[in-house]
Amino acid sequence: MTIRFHKGDISEADAERYTGDIAIDTETLGLKPHRDRLCVVQLSPGDGTADVIQIAKDQKKAPNLTRLLKDRKRTKIFHFGRFDIAVLFHNFGITCEPVFCTKIASRLTRTYTDRHGLKDNLRELLDIDISKQQQSSDWAAEDLSQAQLEYAATDVLYLHALREKLQERLVRDGREKHAEACFRFLPTRAKLDLIGWDDTDIFAHS
Amino acid sequence: MTIRFHKGDISEADAERYTGDIAIDTETLGLKPHRDRLCVVQLSPGDGTADVIQIAKDQKKAPNLTRLLKDRKRTKIFHFGRFDIAVLFHNFGITCEPVFCTKIASRLTRTYTDRHGLKDNLRELLDIDISKQQQSSDWAAEDLSQAQLEYAATDVLYLHALREKLQERLVRDGREKHAEACFRFLPTRAKLDLIGWDDTDIFAHS
Ligand SMILES: Nc1ncnc2c1ncn2[C@@H]1O[C@H](COP(=O)(O)O)[C@@H](OP(=O)(O)O)[C@H]1O
Ligand SMILES: Nc1ncnc2c1ncn2[C@@H]1O[C@H](COP(=O)(O)O)[C@@H](OP(=O)(O)O)[C@H]1O
């Protein structure tokens, strides 16, 4: 596993590895973007390597990262993008578009299960077993442990391959159009979370 | 109150009254489109008049209505469009686009209340008191009562005016873009209801 570690931003040289779609995930101190700070952003170009960027407290900018994510020619691949999109917008003002969310694609195709976590998807569709042990660790630690770095990396390393598998299913089941519409709405869903509709289904009757 | 009653479809002559946006609602035998048949479609051009169309059992076509609703130059104004859009797609294969939903606009602006029903909106924003008494009546009756016709009509008569008021609020509160994104997604939300995701929030974590 090749992990490139960065403080504050991805280096320009490493940013140049990203010529296509970008797998991305974030680690925070918790699930509330207004309370829990962003600690790590991890990216993968889909070649089996990952860039893990440690974000400082009160850091407001990351120009290389921002440039990559704002590029509308690259799809940003998330697992449960709703959360990460909100975090990236809240911290850096970045609106990620277009996006693909493997959790939504899983919901739309793996109708035989209610387990749409990343771990379950990777095990079933790619026969890869990842550990979720570091998920609830202290991501604001100044020195991230090797285990944390590896955890952060594994969360993005397989997203391209997973997207591929799920996209095949979406096509097979005639649900690509529905998925695309969900992905187009996702950045708005994330912004509504930030401004206070995080616990309402905006489309519900009551 | 001017109500034009039709059986099966709106007449061509009356369809010509619709030169702008269209207020629309439906009455069914219940809330499950696969079980409960469509009985009435009501429309208003926003001039204080309404067309109430009685739909026959197993009716598969309504060409004049379809032509009106498929016209992408006219916004279709609904209150809780999610349901009516699903019903219209299920019965006539019509995808209504673009749409405006006064319930979603209400959710996005009337943040001081959790009452986003049509009755509450009309009372507060237009000072109009409508009766909801006929809501749960037998809409499949061969002869609709005068009270039912009036109920059906009042559900569309004020939607243009209500949209206006809510649109002002959306602009005032800087939420038009969010509302537009919700409206764009709404037809997909309705189709997901029809194919089996009616009780899941597709954007939820779990
Ligand atoms: N309300 C919520 N409940 C649980 N997990 C949530 C969540 N909102 C965001 N998440 C995050 O969603 C990610 C995907 O979860 P899952 O694999 O179970 O689908 C997890 O991030 P990480 O995997 O980056 O730690 C988790 O922290
Ligand atoms: N799950 C649900 N619960 C309640 N009402 C629902 C519903 N799904 C659709 N509706 C319909 O939503 C419409 C708007 O409701 P409200 O005014 O309370 O917001 C009502 O139609 P009608 O007004 O055409 O009878 C109601 O029948």
**The tokens of B190 are what?**
């309705």
Q: How far is A8 from A41, CA to CA, in rounded Å?
A: 10
Is the pLDDT at B42 greater than 90? The verdict is yes
Going by C-alpha positions, the residue among B108, B119, B45 that lies closest to residue B79 is B119
Q: What pLDDT does A1 receive?
A: 87
What are the tens digits of pLDDT across the range A136-161? 999 999 999 999 999 999 999 999 99
pLDDT digits (tens, 9 = 90+) for B80-129: 999 999 999 999 999 999 999 999 999 999 999 999 999 999 999 999 99
Distance A185 CA to ligand 1 centre (A): 19
Instruction: For chain B, say whether A32 makes contact (Cβ under 8 Å).
Output: no
- CA–CA separation, A121 and A184 (whole Å): 22
Q: What is the 3-state secondary structure (H, E, C) of B99-112?
A: EEEHHHHHHHHCCC
CB contact under 8 A, B181 and A186: no
Cβ atoms B98, B183 nearer than 8 A: yes
Which residue carries 């026959």 as its tokens? B56
Please work out whether the CB of residue A118 comes within 6 Å of at least one atom of ligand 1. yes
B134 confidence band (pLDDT: 50, 70, 90): confident
Sign of CA dihedral A184, A187, A190, A192: negative
CA of residue A119 to ligand 1 center, whole Å: 11
Q: What distance, in Å, lies between the first and last C-alpha atoms of chain B?
A: 48
Which of B110, B113, B176, B203 would you mutate first to test chain A, the one with the most A CBs within 10 A?
B203
Contact between A104 and A186 (Cβ < 8 Å) = yes
A205 CB near a chain B CB, below 8 Å? yes
B44 — pLDDT class (breaks 50, 70, 90): very high
Query: Tens digit of pLDDT for each residue in B138-167?
Result: 999 999 999 999 999 999 999 999 999 999
Q: How far is the CA of B51 from the centre of ligand 2 (A)?
A: 20
Query: What does the block give as tokens for B53?
Result: 């169309």
Residue of A26, A34, A55, A83 to mutate, ligand 1, most atoms within 8 A of C-beta: A83
The pLDDT of residue A134 is above 90:
no
Rg, Å, chain B Cα set = 16
Burial letters B141-151, b for 16+ CB under 10 A, else e: eeebeeebbbb
Chain A residues with CB-CB distance to B200 below 8 A: 107
Is A182 touching B (CB cutoff 8 A)?
A: yes
- From A15's Cα to the closest Cα of chain B, the distance in A is 30
Minimal C-alpha gap between A202 and chain B (Å): 7
**Cβ–Cβ of B203/A188 closer than 8 Å?**
no
Tell me the count of A-B CB pairs closer than 8 A: 73
Q: What mean pLDDT do residues B30-35 have?
A: 97
Q: What is the SS3 assignment for chain A? A: CEEEEEECCCCHHHHCCCCCCEEEEEEECCCCCCCCCEEEEEEECCCCEEEEEECCCCCCCCHHHHHHHHCCCCCEEECCHHHHHHHHHHHHCCCCCCEEEHHHHHHHHCCCCCCCCHHHHHHHHHCCCCCCHHHHCCCCCCCCCHHHHHHHHHHHHCHHHHHHHHHHHHHHCCCHHHHHHHHHHHHHHHHHHHHHHCCCCCCCCC
For position B122, what pLDDT does the model report? Answer: 98
Atom of ligand 2 nearest to the CA of B84: 9
**Best mutation target, A203, A205, A206, to test chain B (most B CBs within 10 A):** A203
Buried/exposed code over A66-100 (b: 16+ C-beta within 10 A; e: otherwise): eebbeeeebbbbbbbbbbbbbbbbbbbebbbbebb
Contact A178 B188 (CB under 8 A): yes
Would you call A118 an interface residue with chain B, using a CB distance cutoff of 8 Å?
Answer: no
List Cα–Cα distances, B59 to A26, A206, B63, B82, B137, in angstroms: 52, 31, 11, 22, 21
**Ligand nearest to the Cα of B135, by number:** 2
Tally of residues, chain B: 206
The two structure tokens encoding residue B84: 């009516």
Output the pLDDT for position B131: 92
Contacts of A177 in chain B (CB under 8 A): 188
Q: Report the pLDDT averaged over residues B176-192.
A: 98
Task: Please report which ligand is nearest the Cα atom of A159.
Answer: 1
Distance of CA B129 to the CA centre of its chain: 19
- Contact indicator for B92, B177 with CB cutoff of 8 Å: no
Q: Please check whether residue B34 is in contact with residue B134, taking contact to mean a CB–CB distance below 8 angstroms.
A: no
C-alpha pair distances (Å), B199 with each of A201, A203, B96, B159, B194:
11, 11, 22, 27, 11
- CB–CB contact A192 B178 (8 Å): yes
Sheet (strand A49-54) strand order: A2-7, A49-54, A38-44, A22-28, A76-78, A99-101
Q: Which residues line ligand 2 (CB under 6 A)?
A: A 205; B 25, 27, 31, 79-80, 83, 103, 117-118, 135, 155
Q: Are strands A49-54 and A38-44 parallel, antiparallel or unpaired?
A: antiparallel
Q: Is the pLDDT of residue A193 over 90?
A: yes
Percentage with pLDDT > 70 across chain A:
100
The verdict on A178 touching B (C-beta cutoff 8 Å) is yes
Backbone torsions φ then ψ of A24, nearest 5 degrees: -150, 145
Nearest Cα residue to B135 out of B123, B148, B145: B148
